[in-house]
């Protein structure tokens, strides 16, 4: 691709023109879109929207930017590769706000991402009320993350942790062998420590409280780490050999695990054996005494940072709207203006101290969007990925207002979006399709929304214009119909009732969920849906099931989630009806892996069948290759340069975590010998390059693979490639992969499926496919509970629990519950009007 052609038009061409785009599945796409306008790119999942918006337009803008600012980066760009496009003209600099691949650091918070923290610190430094005689502090003194600002006692953490004999040994009547030291690690490691103590001459069969005090203290608190030869106590019929064991005191183990473990589960377990409380010096406020003595409007900065933004705005307003134009007025006006944008985007319930890892992808994108609005950039094209994700329909209008303002400020917007309300408001719509993967890659329409009504091939058309459409899910076979053709809601087979739930903004809430039906939990953003479903309900069920619960697909996650459960359980007073539940399956949007090494085929277990298939070929047998030869995760058959990743990480100053194809294998992942083995003319690398659809034919006679491939197609993922790295998948795709993995399992016992916004990233046509699957589970007797904003899905549920009325402190209550029809009539529910609209 070259930019030479753009000269002719100069900066005045009102169109951005793409010629010959061939990135991924794009079929030599030519498309013109207006600048200074809201352009929505739509089409079914996998049709090529991202390939056009991000892979072509944004990638090319970024390439040009690097070339202009950093000539040295050229070499690196060469490695990363330019997008496959003949020409793009009229292309302004681009800013992408993507949902996938945003990995905020754990230190960041709402305040840091939006830079509101900086302004607030400035306000306290320059315009705070200081005690008499105190000298003014600089901004850094108001940050717990700096050496000058942090409370000297807790180093800015706000809490102090310690261990005591009581916390480490909760039941002193037990002997060490009986598990007196509950804080020790479990399983083998715990037995190991016990055997070491035994070898050191301690009595492991005497009740703890009868051991000499000095011994007890040494066992729990010593910093020594003696090494002894252990002759393990013989277990059942296992033969055990002597070995060298290192002793670690309970204190050392607990504090170290808490400080260093990568596993949330282990950290939280360690925390249970610690006494931790607010730091006595700062009272949990994380700052030194000097900073905490400074106030604004009667509050210290820690108070203000913890307030929901809506409340903070109310506190700042009197100053901002005052007549003066001093420092206080200037800073508060700026703060207020920025907070108002956040509030408009439905984020007013967040506090500045909220860590970004606890935010959803949609919330984070909207935070960034709001921040852009105040950046003063103009002449930029913003490329966005489904900004409506996580938004209640009531919040869509304000979102559109913010997008409109970005345009008024002189920018262009290219938005990949599935929300029909956003599509309707577009100045221009680009419909990509008609299908996914090979069946997509064409621009079916590029023009006004109204004109799309005449494009027969478009799958979007039916949803926008409603032709021949008996409601989005109308085709599903239904029970006795209601007057409008909708089926009768199913009847619950039982109820799961939780009482006295207190967590985040839920305060002593009672909630009940019907079993054996499809339930939708609704409410504006921040009302408490995720807290109720993904935290409380999930954890209560997991706790009840104990080891009987289904392991989450990824082992590491299962461990973490399982452990969190015990902690959260304390947030619930009473639980009734849980005996009916035999299994829990959470299908969330967390990535299926964090490196390009994990992919669709490995995650679903499909790849095991493929490797066995290749090991069973004559060629492999002749060469003596077993299935492990065909793994790219162990040495042997894989490419030595990239160690089977197919990519190498490129350290780019501006682009952390960028990958370039491996120079040795060109992305194949394997060495030439392994690739000499073929099945029906395809190497194992070729199989990883196949889409699910293609592989379903190729592997049709391999039962272990075809079953999994079929379920992947059933959830609408036929367009994904088997080797598609986990890092390239959207949250919605990850979620559907998990669902497919689950569907291929043999099921037993009543299962409760929990899903958080399963329609994210889905075109309405994809939503239909997914919903057919979910309703199929309910028809088979299981329960499905979804958090959802898509009213088509909600209208087709059997039961609706609507939370609200607002977000944060204004939410957390059940505003209405019942069948969709009943909830649609609720006068207090903000969901009701939208649901009514959909039920008409």
Binding-site ranges for ligand ADP (CB under 6 A):
24-25, 43, 45-51, 349-350, 354, 358, 436-437, 504-505, 523, 525-531, 719-721, 728, 808
Using DSSP, state whether 831 is helix, strand or coil: coil
Cα–Cα distance, 674 to 630 (Å, whole number): 7
* Three-state DSSP state, 837: helix
User: What is d(CA 712, CA 697) in angstroms, rounded to the nearest whole number?
Assistant: 13
Residue 281 contact among ligand ADP, Zn ion, none, beta carbon within 5 to 8 Å by kind: Zn ion
Contact criterion met (CB below 8 Å) for 600 and 727: no
Residue 639's binding partner out of ligand ADP, Zn ion, none, with CB under 5 to 8 Å set by partner kind: Zn ion
**Cβ 523 to ligand ADP shortest distance, Å:** 5
Q: Nearest distance from residue 441's CB to ligand ADP, in Å?
A: 7
Q: Which two tokens stand for residue 136?
A: 């003014």
What phi, psi does 244 have (nearest 5°)? -90, 125
Supply the minimum distance, in Å, between the C-beta of residue 803 and ligand ADP: 6
Q: Which does 831 bind (CB under 5 to 8 A by kind): ligand ADP, Zn ion, none?
A: none
The residue among 55 and 232 lying less far from ligand ADP, judged by its C-beta, is 55
Peptide bond into 434 cis (omega under 30): yes
51 binds, among ligand ADP, Zn ion, none (CB under 5 to 8 A by kind): ligand ADP
Nearer to ligand ADP, 25 or 817 (CB): 25
| Residue 282 interacting partner from Zn ion, ligand ADP, none (CB closer than 5 to 8 Å by kind) | Zn ion
**Cβ 737 to Zn ion shortest distance, Å:** 25
How near is the Cβ of 417 to ligand ADP at its closest, in Å? 11
Contact 777, 510 (CB under 8 A): no
In this complex, which beta carbon is closest to ligand ADP, that of residue 350 or of residue 792? 350
Residue 73 or 729: the one with the smaller Cβ distance to ligand ADP is: 729
Is the CB of 230 or the CB of 383 nearer to ligand ADP?
Answer: 383
Q: Which is nearer to Zn ion, 291 or 498 (CB)?
A: 291
Nearest distance from C-beta of residue 350 to ligand ADP, angstroms: 5
Out of ligand ADP, Zn ion, none, what residue 620 binds, judged by CB under 5 to 8 A for its kind, is none
98 φ/ψ angles, rounded to the nearest 5 degrees: -100, 155
d(CA 125, CA 55): 44
Question: Is there a contact between 380 and 411 (Cβ–Cβ < 8 Å)?
Answer: yes
What is the Cα–Cα distance from 674 to 680, expressed in whole angstroms?
A: 15
Binding site for Zn ion (CB under 5 A): 151, 153-154, 279, 281-282, 639, 641-642, 662, 664-665
CB of 150 to ligand ADP, least distance (A): 22
Binds 48, which of Zn ion, ligand ADP, none (CB < 5 to 8 A, cut-off by type)? ligand ADP
Q: Distance between CA atoms of 811 and 124, rounded to whole angstroms? A: 31
Confirm if 689 and 437 have CB atoms less than 8 A apart. no
Q: What angle in degrees, to the nearest 10, is found between the helix axes of 393-408 and 361-373?
A: 30
Nearest-approach distance from CB 689 to ligand ADP, in angstroms: 8
Residue 151 interaction partner, one of Zn ion, ligand ADP, none, beta carbon < 5-8 Å per kind: Zn ion
**Which phi and psi angles does 498 have, rounded to 5°?**
-115, 135
**Phi, psi of 230, deg, nearest 5:** -105, 130
Closer to Zn ion by Cβ: residue 668 or 815 = 668
Q: Which two tokens stand for residue 272?
A: 């249970």
46 binds, among Zn ion, ligand ADP, none (CB under 5 to 8 A by kind): ligand ADP
- The residue (of 184 and 607) whose beta carbon lies closer to ligand ADP is 607
Rank residues 50 and 706 by Cβ distance to ligand ADP and give the closer one.
50
Question: What ranges in 298-378 are assigned the alpha helix state H?
Answer: 301-306, 309-320, 327-344, 361-373
- Nearest Cα to Cα of residue 510 among 812, 825, 828: 812
- Tokens, residue 446: 């590029």
CB of 558 to ligand ADP, least distance (A): 20
């Amino acid at each position: 691709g070259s930019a030479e052609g753009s000269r002719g038009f100069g900066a005045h061409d009102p169109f951005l023109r793409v010629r010959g785009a061939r990135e991924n599945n794009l079929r030599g796409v030519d498309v013109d879109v207006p600048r200074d306008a809201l352009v929505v790119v739509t089409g079914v999942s996998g049709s090529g929207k991202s390939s056009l918006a991000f892979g072509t337009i944004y990638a090319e803008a970024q390439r040009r930017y690097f070339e202009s600012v950093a000539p040295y980066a050229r070499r690196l760009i060469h490695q990363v590769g330019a997008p496959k496009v003949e020409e793009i003209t009229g292309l302004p600099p681009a800013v992408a706000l993507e949902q996938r691949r945003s990995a905020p650091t754990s230190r960041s918070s709402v305040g840091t991402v939006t830079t509101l923290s900086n302004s607030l610190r400035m306000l306290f430094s320059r315009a705070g009320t200081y005690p008499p005689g105190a000298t003014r502090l600089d901004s850094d003194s108001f940050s717990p993350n700096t050496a000058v600002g942090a409370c000297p006692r807790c180093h800015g953490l706000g809490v102090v942790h310690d261990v005591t004999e009581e916390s480490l040994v909760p039941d002193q009547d037990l002997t060490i062998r009986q598990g007196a030291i509950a804080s020790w690690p479990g399983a083998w490691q715990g037995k190991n420590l016990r055997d070491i103590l035994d070898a050191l001459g301690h009595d492991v069969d005497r009740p703890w409280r009868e051991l000499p005090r000095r011994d007890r203290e040494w066992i729990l608190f010593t910093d020594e780490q003696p090494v002894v030869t252990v002759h393990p106590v013989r277990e059942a019929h296992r033969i055990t050999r002597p070995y060298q064991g290192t002793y670690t005191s309970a204190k050392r183990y607990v504090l170290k695990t808490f400080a260093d473990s990568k596993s949330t589960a282990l950290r939280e377990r360690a925390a249970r054996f610690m006494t931790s409380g607010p730091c006595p010096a700062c009272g949990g406020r994380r700052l030194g005494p000097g900073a905490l003595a400074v106030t604004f409007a009667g509050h210290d900065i820690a108070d203000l940072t913890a307030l929901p933004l809506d409340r903070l705005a109310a506190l700042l307003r009197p100053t901002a709207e005052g007549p003066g134009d001093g420092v206080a007025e200037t800073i508060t006006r700026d703060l207020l203006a920025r907070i108002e944008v956040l509030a408009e985007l439905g984020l007013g319930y967040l506090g500045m101290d909220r860590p970004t890892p606890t935010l959803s992808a949609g919330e984070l994108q909207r935070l960034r969007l709001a921040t852009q609005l105040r950046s003063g950039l103009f002449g930029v094209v913003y490329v966005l990925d489904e900004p409506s994700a996580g938004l209640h329909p009531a919040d869509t209008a304000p979102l559109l207002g913010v997008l409109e303002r970005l345009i008024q400020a002189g920018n262009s917007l290219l938005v990949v979006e599935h929300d029909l309300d956003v599509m309707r408001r577009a100045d221009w719509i680009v419909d990509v399709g008609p299908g996914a993967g090979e069946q997509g890659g064409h621009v079916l329409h590029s023009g006004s929304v109204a004109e799309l009504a005449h494009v027969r091939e478009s799958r979007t058309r039916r949803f926008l214009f409603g032709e021949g459409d008996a409601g989005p899910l109308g085709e599903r076979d239904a029970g006795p119909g209601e007057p409008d053709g909708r089926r009768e809601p199913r009847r619950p087979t039982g109820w799961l009732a939780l009482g006295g739930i207190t967590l985040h903004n839920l305060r002593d809430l009672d909630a009940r969920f019907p079993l054996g039906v499809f339930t939708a939990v609704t409410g504006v953003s921040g009302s408490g849906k995720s807290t109720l479903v993904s935290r409380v309900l999930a954890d209560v069920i997991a706790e009840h099931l104990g080891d009987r619960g289904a392991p989450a697909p990824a082992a590491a996650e299962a461990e973490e989630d399982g452990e969190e459960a015990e902690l959260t359980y304390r947030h619930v007073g009473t639980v009734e009806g849980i005996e009916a539940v035999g299994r829990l399956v959470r299908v969330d949007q967390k990535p299926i892996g964090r490196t390009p090494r994990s992919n669709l085929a490995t995650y679903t277990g499909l790849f095991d069948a493929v490797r066995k298939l290749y090991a069973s070929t004559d060629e492999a047998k002749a060469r003596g290759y077993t299935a492990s030869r065909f793994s790219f995760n162990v040495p042997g058959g894989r490419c030595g340069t990239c160690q089977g990743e197919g990519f190498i990480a490129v350290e780019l100053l501006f682009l952390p975590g960028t990958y370039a194809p491996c120079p040795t294998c060109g992305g194949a992942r394997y060495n030439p010998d392994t690739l000499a083995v073929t099945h029906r003319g395809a190497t194992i690398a070729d199989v990883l390059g196949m889409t699910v659809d293609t592989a379903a034919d190729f592997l049709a006679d391999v039962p272990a693979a075809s079953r999994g491939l079929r379920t992947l197609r059933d959830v609408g993922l036929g367009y994904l490639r088997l080797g598609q790295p986990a890092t390239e998948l959207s949250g919605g795709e990850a979620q559907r992969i998990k669902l497919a993995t689950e569907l291929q399992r043999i099921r037993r016992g009543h299962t409760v499926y929990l899903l958080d916004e399963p329609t994210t990233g889905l075109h309405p046509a994809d939503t239909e496919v997914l919903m057919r699957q979910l309703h199929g589970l309910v028809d088979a007797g299981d329960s499905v509970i979804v958090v959802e904003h898509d009213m088509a899905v909600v209208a087709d549920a059997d039961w609706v629990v609507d939370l609200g009325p607002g977000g944060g402190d204004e939410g957390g209550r059940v505003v209405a519950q019942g069948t969709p029809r009943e909830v649609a009539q609720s006068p207090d529910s903000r969901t009701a009007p939208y649901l009514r609209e959909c039920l008409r």
